[in-house]
Amino acid sequence: MFCLEKKEIFQKPLEEIIEKLLPSQIDIDFHIECLKAQAVIARTNMIREYLKIDKSNSLHCSYRFYSQRELEEMWSEKYVENIGKIKKAVEETKGLVITMKGKPIMARFHDTCGGSTENSENVIKNEVNYLRKVLCLYCQNSPNLIEEKDFSIEDIEKALKVKFHLDNPYSKGEIKGFFEDIERDEENRVLSINVGGKVFSGKEIMEGLHLNSTRFYMTPLYIRFTSKGKGDGLGFCQYGGNELANRGYSFLEILKYYYTGVDVEKYSLPGIGNPLYGKTIMIDPGHGGKDSGYIGELGLKEKDIVLEVAKMLREEIEILGGEVYLTREVDEERFLSKRSEMANRIRPDFFISLHMNYFPNSNMKGCEIYCFRGDTESREMGNILLKNLEEVGLVNRGVKEGNFYLLKSIGVNTILVELGFLSNLEEEKCFSEKNFIKDLSRAITLGILEYFEY
Ligand SMILES: [Zn+2]
Ligand SMILES: [Zn+2]
């Protein structure tokens, strides 16, 4: 079990977080419509959590997350069979949140209400207009409908930190509802006693229960507590919801039954799970078509590598909510003037041109980034990207000033990245591996995120 830190919350897509959270909140064996209702609940609460974190600047999200292994242990043989349903429930409710007057509600839920849910003021002190009591005759088959628990007097004393005064046993010694109206003589022998509404003499009790004398008294040793339902009864009753789903109700109908007067609508916060929301990045894979760029000893072509990186980058950036344009999608020629014209028309927040380097001395390796003279923003972006790329093993050759056509002609922040050297066999090998391309793209994406965050 682990806690998500603020940074992770910002970086992980919301839907991925919900998918992780859901199997620890509800029985994964439940009907898909019920799981969907819980997915919307989890998303609603997560967005509230996010708003809280955002405001308080605290480092942790109060939700606990379970690892896959812990979840497999939790659900044992049910896991494999049902985990696909969890994914589906999240996907089919993507972005949906329960709201009241446009704001995400406090989506409380519990296991089994036992006949009716609760009014909020009885549980959390304040009156919440969507957490009202509703009748629920649907959780009658819940295994948690009735719970019986026996406590010894000692257990109760310990748990509640109280002391029962049973030290003068011969005084009255009644147990209301069981043994009442006890009359004793001056020697404490029982003369008469009312047991369950019927009056007995002390002698009758002594004989009936095979006691040694009529000088007896009673002490209760165990108390049985029977409780109906499970949980605080606020909001959504999961077993009730499951039964409604079995009867053909949709997750929307289920949610609206348990939460009074709410709406269920698409809701997206720019930040949550979409930390690059609102940012536009244009990626420019250099060369193309007849122009292969450099070609390595193993035959790897610059135009192909940079296109592969560009596409992977688009995937990674889009996961974080950013918008991505590529100057070319396929292996075809693109004049520099055309690339620059595209950039000036779309005006992205950043333009990143991708290339591979080449040098006669095959020992030369590493990544270098060019920006236009005096463009401090691009220099900062370059430094962050290089720092991140060091983590995937690329040598940091620094940010340099360049006088390239694209750097001069594009009116937005622009960098040109020479990812590595095709004249270096070791680097060429790296760039031929799919996993390396993925790690590299991720490193660049996180660098872009870092740049925009600080
Ligand atoms: Zn119920
Ligand atoms: Zn090039």
Distance 321 CA to ligand 2 centre (A): 29
Q: What is the DSSP track for 305-344? A: HHHHHHHHHHHHHHHTT-EEEES-SSS----HHHHHHHHH
Closest to 320 in 3D by CA, of 5, 2, 6, 15: 15
DSSP, collapsed to helix, strand or coil, labels residue 46 as helix
Distance 356 CA to ligand 2 centre (A): 5
Q: May I ask the CATH class of domain 280-453?
A: alpha beta
d(CA 18, CA 46): 8
* Burial of 224 from C-beta contacts in 10 A (0-12 / 13-18 / 19+): exposed
Ligand nearest to the CA of 417: 2
Ligand nearest to the CA of 141: 1
Query: Which secondary-structure segment (H or E) carries 443?
Result: helix 434-453
d(CA 391, CA 326): 25
DSSP, collapsed to helix, strand or coil, labels residue 288 as strand
Distance 71 CA to ligand 1 centre (A): 25
Task: Give the pLDDT of residue 332.
Answer: 96
DSSP, collapsed to helix, strand or coil, labels residue 192 as strand
| H-state helical runs in 76-208 | 78-92, 153-160, 202-208
Q: Which residues contact 78 (CB under 8 A, 6 or more apart)?
A: 28, 29
Beta bridge partners, 368, equal 418
Distance 451 CA to ligand 2 centre (A): 25
Distance 303 CA to ligand 2 centre (A): 8
| Contact between 164 and 219 (Cβ < 8 Å) | no
Distance 279 CA to ligand 2 centre (A): 26
Ligand nearest to the CA of 293: 2
Query: Which secondary-structure segment (H or E) carries 348?
Result: none
Closest to 268 in 3D by CA, of 65, 104, 395, 432: 104
Distance 140 CA to ligand 1 centre (A): 7
**Residue appearing with tokens 């409604």:** 244
Distance 293 CA to ligand 2 centre (A): 5
Structure-token pair, residue 278: 């609102």
| Contact between 258 and 113 (Cβ < 8 Å) | no
Distance 144 CA to ligand 1 centre (A): 10
Task: Give the pLDDT of residue 16.
Answer: 85
Ligand nearest to the CA of 422: 2
Ligand nearest to the CA of 288: 2
Task: Give the pLDDT of residue 102.
Answer: 87
Task: Give the pLDDT of residue 311.
Answer: 97
Ligand nearest to the CA of 233: 1
Closest to 205 in 3D by CA, of 176, 183, 223: 183
d(CA 228, CA 360): 81
Distance 67 CA to ligand 1 centre (A): 30
pTM score, whole prediction: 0.60
DSSP, collapsed to helix, strand or coil, labels residue 54 as helix
Distance 91 CA to ligand 1 centre (A): 26
d(CA 36, CA 254): 10
Structure-token pair, residue 285: 């894979």
d(CA 79, CA 87): 12
Ligand nearest to the CA of 110: 1
* Burial of 280 from C-beta contacts in 10 A (0-12 / 13-18 / 19+): middle
- Cβ neighbours of 62 (radius 10 Å): 10
Mean pLDDT by 10 residues, the chain (454 residues): 58 82 93 98 89 63 78 89 92 94 94 96 93 96 94 92 75 81 91 94 96 90 92 97 98 98 86 79 97 96 97 92 94 96 96 97 96 94 96 96 94 97 96 95 94 82
Residues of the chain within CATH 3.40.630.40 domain(s) are 280-453
Task: Give the pLDDT of residue 174.
Answer: 82
Structure-token pair, residue 97: 């949140």
Ligand nearest to the CA of 116: 1
Distance 247 CA to ligand 1 centre (A): 14
d(CA 65, CA 20): 7
Task: Give the pLDDT of residue 277.
Answer: 83
Closest to 283 in 3D by CA, of 445, 449, 437: 445
| Contact between 314 and 360 (Cβ < 8 Å) | no
Task: Give the pLDDT of residue 17.
Answer: 86
Distance 97 CA to ligand 1 centre (A): 22
Distance 78 CA to ligand 1 centre (A): 23
Neighbours of ion ligand 1 (CB under 5 A): 113, 136, 139, 237, 240
| Contact between 338 and 326 (Cβ < 8 Å) | no
d(CA 222, CA 291): 88
Q: What ranges make up the beta strands (E) of 243-388?
A: 263-266, 280-285, 323-326, 350-357, 367-371
Structure-token pair, residue 181: 């109206």
Task: Give the pLDDT of residue 1.
Answer: 46
Question: If you ran DSSP here, which 8-state letter would residue 111 be given?
Answer: S
Distance 237 CA to ligand 1 centre (A): 5
Question: If you ran DSSP here, which 8-state letter would residue 312 be given?
Answer: H
Distance 107 CA to ligand 1 centre (A): 16
d(CA 417, CA 350): 13
Ligand nearest to the CA of 419: 2
d(CA 30, CA 26): 8
Neighbours of ion ligand 2 (CB under 5 A): 286, 293, 355
Distance 358 CA to ligand 2 centre (A): 9
Ligand nearest to the CA of 421: 2
d(CA 20, CA 30): 17
d(CA 434, CA 423): 19
Q: Which residues contact 452 (CB under 8 A, 6 or more apart)?
A: 275, 276, 279, 349
Query: Which secondary-structure segment (H or E) carries 110?
Result: strand 109-110
Structure-token pair, residue 152: 């010894």
Structure-token pair, residue 109: 């839920």
d(CA 28, CA 372): 55
